[in-house]
A and B are shown apart, each in its own frame.
Chain A
Amino acid sequence: QQQVKQSPQSLIVQKGGISIINCAYENTAFDYFPWYQQFPGKGPALLIAIRPDVSEKKEGRFTISFNKSAKQFSLHIMDSQPGDSATYFCAAKGGRGTYKYIFGTGTRLKVLA
């Protein structure tokens, strides 16, 4: 119930292509879904986030699609660039009044030049 399942584990995309990373959850109390980007040797940094009352959020080349009924959400990176090569984590917050974020297992993205 407290898990967030993330796939794929790794992803290789050509420059200019679309990178898609998927996450699924079980706990309907989760109320905030951020994506974090982590470069080697650095801490994770917030990339984009969505609340479950919204089906899509776009910021530049990054889009979150959220399907509340299916309990799934995904990150789309349009026009992927070599500089996007990093590990991406989805996460879910355990509901209003809680401080606990559950992280997915991470996706290592490599964008080929």
Chain B
Amino acid sequence: DTAVSQTPKYLVTQMGNDKSIKCEQNLGHDTMYWYKQDSKKFLKIMFSYNNKELIINETVPNRFSPKSPDKAHLNLHINSLELGDSAVYFCASSQTKPNYSGNTIYFGEGSWLTVV
């Protein structure tokens, strides 16, 4: 069973389109994330939800909107896609543990977005 699964794996779309990437985790974790990895492999956090509440919202264009219908799902919707949005988007999850500093992040396999 895949722990963090995201769909689609590959997405090629034209500029100006709107697209969504879906993510589900079956680990029972309470925190989910979206990371963006650019062509230079830099991994940058975009959003994080804890128990469906938005807790991290980095400087990301308003065209990106996350939605967490429940603890196990975190979707990413992107409006008016631009060439610069081409990247790999990783969904991830972790479990917060009170009085414990280390919470392993488990990543999905990524969604390769190409905007043409």
Chain A residues close to B by CB (< 8 Å): 31-32, 34, 36, 38, 41-46, 49, 51, 87, 89, 93, 95-96, 99-101, 103, 105-106, 108
Interface pairs (6), CB distance under 8 Å: A31-B101, A43-B108, A44-B90, A44-B107, A51-B101, A99-B33
Residues of A near B45 (CB, < 8 A) are 100-101
Chain B residues close to A by CB (< 8 Å): 4, 31, 33, 40-45, 48, 50, 55-56, 90, 92, 94, 96, 99, 101-110
- Which residue of A has the minimal Cβ distance to B109? A43
- How far apart sit A100 and B101, CA to CA, in the bound complex (Å)? 11
Given A43-B107, A51-B102, A100-B48: A105 and B42 interface contact (C-beta under 8 Å): yes
Additional pairs, 11, CB under 8 Å, beyond known A44-B90, A46-B106: A31-B102, A34-B105, A36-B107, A43-B90, A43-B110, A44-B107, A46-B104, A99-B31, A99-B33, A99-B94, A105-B41
Nearest CB of chain A from residue B29's CB, rounded to whole Å: 11
Rank and list the top 3 A-B pairs by shortest CB-CB distance, nearest first.
A43-B107, A32-B102, A31-B101
Given A87-B41, A106-B43: A101 and B105 interface contact (C-beta under 8 Å): yes
Do B102 and A93 touch (CB < 8 A)? yes
- Which residue of A has the minimal Cβ distance to B104? A46
Do A42 and B41 touch (CB < 8 A)? no
- How far apart sit A56 and B16, CA to CA, in the bound complex (Å)? 50
Do B56 and A99 touch (CB < 8 A)? yes
Given A51-B101, A99-B96: A42 and B110 interface contact (C-beta under 8 Å): yes
- How far apart sit A20 and B31, CA to CA, in the bound complex (Å)? 32
Nearest CB of chain B from residue A9's CB, rounded to whole Å: 9
Do B43 and A93 touch (CB < 8 A)? no
Residues of B near A42 (CB, < 8 A) are 109-110
- Which residue of B has the minimal Cβ distance to A49? B102
Do B110 and A93 touch (CB < 8 A)? no
Do B109 and A46 touch (CB < 8 A)? no
Do A45 and B41 touch (CB < 8 A)? no
Nearest CB of chain B from residue A108's CB, rounded to whole Å: 8
